[in-house]
Amino acid sequence: MRPLTPRRAPRAWTPAAALPRARALACACAHALACAHALACALACALALACALAAPARAACFAPSAREVEAKVLLHNGERNGARTQVEAALAAQTEPVLAAYVLAQLYVDAEGNFPKALYWARRAERWLLRACGERPAEAEAQRMHRDVILYISYVQGDMDLRAEQLRTLERYEVLYQPPKDDLKIWPLVKLGRFEEARAHGLRLIQSEDPYARSRAFNGLMAVECEARQRKRSYEWGLKGHADAREQSCVIALNLALAARQCYSFDEEERLNRLALNAQERDCSSSPMIQSSATYLIRGEFQKSISALSAWAPRDGGEWSTSHMRVKARRAELMYSLGVWGRGLREIHDVVTYPDRSAGTDSASEEMLYLEASVLYWALLDAALVEERERLSARGGAAWLRGAPRLAALAFRRWKQRRQVIRYASHEALLVDLVRPYFSNVMPWYVNTLAHTLGGGVLRGAIEEARRLEAEDFPKESNAYLDALEAERAWVEGDAAESLRLAEQALAGIPEQARLIRFRVMALRWASRVARSGEAPLDDDLHALLTSFPTPLRWLDLRLPARLAVRGGALADAAAAALARSPRFELRDDAPLTLEVVEEGSAEGARLQVCLFGRGQLRYSCAETLVDAAAELARRERRRGGRGEALRVAQDRERLPDTGEGAGEGAGEGAGRREGEERMEPDAALRVVDLAHQRLFSPKVELTQKELDTLDGNIRQVSGEEALEGVF
Phi, psi of 561, rounded to the nearest 5 degrees: -75, 125
pLDDT above 90 covers a percentage of the chain that reads 66
Intrachain domains 64-180 and 187-284 with the same fold: yes
Count of beta carbons in the 10 Å neighbourhood of residue 154: 24
Print the SS3 string covering 344-404.
Answer: HHHHHHHHHHCCCCCHHHCCCCHHHHHHHHHHHHHHHHHHHHHHHHHHHHCCCHHHHHHHH
* Range 187-284: architecture per CATH: Alpha Horseshoe (1.25)
pLDDT at 44 over 50: no
Provide the Cα torsion 573, 578, 581, 584; round to 10°.
-110
Record: fold of 64-180: 1.25.40
Count of beta carbons in the 10 Å neighbourhood of residue 276: 27
Task: Report helix, strand or coil for 691.
Answer: helix
219 close to 206: Cβ distance less than 8 angstroms: no
- Which tens digits make up the pLDDT trace of 457-476? 999 999 999 999 999 899 99
Phi, psi of 563, rounded to the nearest 5 degrees: -120, 150
Query: Can you give the pTM of this predicted structure?
Result: 0.82
Give residue limits of the domains in the chain.
Answer: 64-180, 187-284, 302-420, 427-558, 561-657+669-724
- Which tens digits make up the pLDDT trace of 471-523? 989 999 999 999 999 999 999 999 999 999 999 999 999 999 999 999 999 99
Long-range contacts of 706-710 (CB under 8 A, 24+ apart): 707/646, 707/649, 707/650, 707/653, 708/643, 708/646, 708/647, 708/650, 709/646, 710/639, 710/642, 710/643, 710/646
- Which tens digits make up the pLDDT trace of 607-641? 999 999 998 889 999 999 999 888 888 888 887 76
Mean predicted confidence (pLDDT) in 260-272: 95
In this structure, the strands spanning 619-626 and 713-714 are: unpaired
CA–CA dist 504, 487 (Å, integer): 9
pLDDT at 718 over 80: no
Higher pLDDT, 671 or 330: 330
CA–CA dist 69, 82 (Å, integer): 12
